[in-house]
Amino acid sequence: MLQYPRKNDLAQIPTPLLPLDRASERWGCGHRLWVKRDDLTGSALSGNKVRKLEYITAHAQDHGFDTLITCGGIQSNHCRATAFAGAQLGLSVHLILRGLEEGPRDGNLLLDHLAGATVNCYSTREYVEGLDGLFEQWQAHYAALGRKALAIPTGGSDGIGLWGYIAACEELKADFGHANIERAHIVTATGSGGTQAGLTLGAALHQLPADVWGVNVCDDEQYFIDKVAADIAHWHSLYPEAPAVDYATRVLDGYVGPGYGKAGAEVFDLIAQLAALEGIVLDPVYTGKAFRGMLDEIAAGRFTGCQDIVFMHTGGIFGVFPQAEGFRW
């Protein structure tokens, strides 16, 4: 029996697993396409980070922390979700963001401020060279005030956050039963690696009949093989009584495009096509690239021999608005 730590109920779960009939017909090459709607885990709390934050926030409360410090890009979904989780639980949130503010506040950055988070924006250089120091500096700042601040790593991807997607695999197992799915490929965007690591580990722990694939939106295949291993090793170090399992890390590399947070025209076109075809909104940073990658790999025959393919919709809708100029009408 797997012993889960305490969590806060923040996410609207279970999320629906829905068939994409028209998308299957258009792009499936004989496969049945499904979407796991983790974009519906909440309204402001939307997306995959909420599942991780259920465990991370409980850990914070149980260890006497009153403040959450975390980091990410200026339009980080994780930072926005942390800001709202903090607001819901009465914890203060301090965000260290990569990128300087330009133009009007939009998307996730606007929401960070609405949720009352303290926000500091740094140039990419200051952020990349000094991130550890910034965490230490702000933790010391709160300590001097008699407060206690938890440093949450990028994307909430660590041994604690992993529980969110370990638990999601139990949910998927029940979904597979209801949908008569015997075996599937699961495709998710991967950015800080925690969702992929949680799904990979959870599938092994719960004997979910599925291969988990991460479409990387930054870095490369080797980076994610190492990151998944590091997250799982961290999980084992925190929960030494948990069972050891064999797992395989599967990465679909080649869909980063111009860079993290930057998408090519083919991604914007696909976002518009899927929204009109199925009423589902992807984003240009994560899910648009992952869906594009999934379709290209289907066409290339990567998944032959297995009928069902589940796309993990990890959220990201607020990232659409700051990039509205990318769409061609």
Which residues bind to ligand PLP, rule: CB under 6 A?
47-49, 77-78, 155, 157, 189-196, 283, 286-287, 314-316
Q: What is the smallest separation between the CB atom of 287 and ligand PLP, expressed in angstroms?
A: 6
Question: Shortest approach of ligand PLP to residue 188 CB, angstroms?
Answer: 7
Bridge partners, 190 (sequence order): 216
The yes-or-no answer on residue 76 being catalytic is yes
Tokens 């979407």 -> residue: 35
CA distances from 128 to 72, 98, 276 (A): 11, 8, 38
Q: How far is the CB of 76 from ligand PLP (least distance, A)?
A: 7
User: For ligand PLP, which is the closer residue by CB, 36 or 142?
Assistant: 36
| Residue 219 φ then ψ, to 5° | 50, -150
Could you tell me the two tokens for 301? 């025959």
Q: Least distance to ligand PLP from the beta carbon of 173, Å?
A: 20
Contact 41, 317 (CB under 8 A): no
Residue 8 contacts residue 57 (beta carbons within 8 Å)? yes
CB of 281 to ligand PLP, least distance (A): 11
Going across the sheet that includes 32-36, the strands are 17-19, 32-36, 308-312, 184-190, 210-216, 250-252
* Neighbouring C-alpha atoms within 13 Å toward the C-beta of 287: 27
Q: Is the Cβ of residue 82 or residue 196 nearer to ligand PLP in the bound state?
A: 196
CB of 15 or CB of 157, closer to ligand PLP: 157
Q: Which of 24, 43, 46, 76 is catalytic?
A: 76
Three-state DSSP class for residue 29: coil
Helix, strand or coil, per DSSP, at residue 14: coil
222 three-class SS: helix
The three-state secondary structure class of 206 is: coil
Q: Which residues are catalytic?
A: 76
